[in-house]
Chain A
């Protein structure tokens, strides 16, 4: 077994060079490019509309839910990594152990599935049909009125 320093030294060097390449590209264009500023250019891009307010608003709770489910399942997946490496040595014992573990994961998985945590749009949203517009509100009548 070679010492760890010898194995990981090239990796550290590669990490340093990778950072240097990325920094060099950003820095190089910073030095080379010209700079012109004006008021209109310094507004957020919104397809030509006047931006209203900041973008840092509250956003859908769905994204937090995905993050939470991810943490649970990724940690559970983590337990499978060492299992896969020693599987050949432990044989039947490893298989039964993992069967129990996966059944536990899957029962939790189907629970959150049934709870609707994996549905992006809630079930109640899908069932309501979009209301048809009243006849007088059709585009043609609106255009005629003006």
Chain B
């Protein structure tokens, strides 16, 4: 079911995803403003939409400062890793029938692997900066993302068990009768929390934690290299929202409207949910975050897997 023109699909998906990531910066600022009872950017262009363009031009012409005390090669590579790995993950996402770069039979594993490589980005950035805040941020990011990655994979095994495949398009077609959010509600909640932690969004943004670590792993970054971390974060939000849509909410399936519209609608719903989380929740302490991950989420993920197995066995 791979697209007949892979190059066209690649370019199409990349252009749309990058535009969407830039647009999300505007959307997040507007939505946060709405929930915090203020205006947000509304001067540049209609509804402030051109603000993104203005920011992009500005950030490209900012000074590209590489600290003389930093590990220069690693310092430059680190922000490129996060954007690179997330963009690679989009290769296996089935947006609609025929709109997919390559329908790998290990699609889900490919995405989990890419998200593991993404961890390097923040750790290396924190290490290369040779700044105390950055180092603390980088270490926190490593500990947090590793801990939440363990049950991120486990939470998805219920879905794989029901669909009997790692191929994302097959997981979508396995939901023809009922979306997996119904039999796998616990798995959905676990994956959602792990997804927020993996993208380091509030309430799990302890690696950045402006009020205590200044900006954590990207304190020393400026210009477009800082911008890449920013874009990488939004790309991550798009990726996780698309994954939730595909794995738990039937992907492109839905009545009347064309498949691609359904996919975008469901994805946008979760993106807005991510932004609402940022507006609504405070940040926990780091020890709370770690014990929550290991002592609550991991046993729950294992229990969910066993119960799913038992029920699947009983119903044949």
Contact = CB atoms under 8 A, between A and B. Distances in A.
B21 to A, nearest CB: 11
B43 interface: no
Contact of A120 (B60, B149, B290): B290
A81 B80 contact: no
A61 B234 CA distance: 32
B133 A85 contact: no
Given A18-B88, A81-B109, A87-B309, A9 B61 contact: no
A81 B220 contact: no
Interface string A48-81: 0001001110010011001101100110010011
B172 interface: no
Interface in B266-316: 286-287, 290-291, 294-295, 298-299, 302, 305-306, 309-310, 312-313
A113 interface: yes
B146 A85 contact: no
A3 to B, nearest CB: 12
Contacts of B158: 84
Contacts of B62: 29, 33
Interface of B: 2-3, 6-7, 9-11, 14, 18, 59-65, 67-69, 76, 79-81, 83-85, 87-88, 90-92, 101-104, 109-110, 129-135, 139, 142-143, 146-147, 149-150, 153-154, 157-158, 160-161, 164-166, 214, 219-220, 223-225, 227-228, 231, 286-287, 290-291, 294-295, 298-299, 302, 305-306, 309-310, 312-313
5 contacts: A29-B225, A45-B220, A46-B133, A69-B294, A74-B146
Given A11-B88, A55-B135, A80-B154, 7 more contacts: A29-B59, A33-B63, A34-B63, A81-B153, A85-B166, A105-B302, A109-B298
B299 to A, nearest CB: 7
A84 B131 contact: no
State the main secondary structure of chain A at its contact with B.
helix
A23 B79 CA distance: 10
A92 B309 CA distance: 9
B214 A10 contact: no
A119 B298 CA distance: 15
State the main secondary structure of chain B at its contact with A.
helix
A44 B220 contact: yes
Interface-central residue, A55, A87, A94, by most chain B CB under 10 Å: A55
Contacts of B149: 70, 74
B6 A13 contact: yes
Interface string A26-43: 101110111110000111
A87 B164 CA distance: 7
A118 B295 contact: yes
Contacts of B150: 70, 73-74, 77
A88 to B, nearest CB: 5
Given A7-B2, A13-B10, A26 B76 contact: yes
A8 to B, nearest CB: 7
Given A8-B102, A45-B220, A56-B135, A29 B64 contact: yes
B146 A29 contact: no
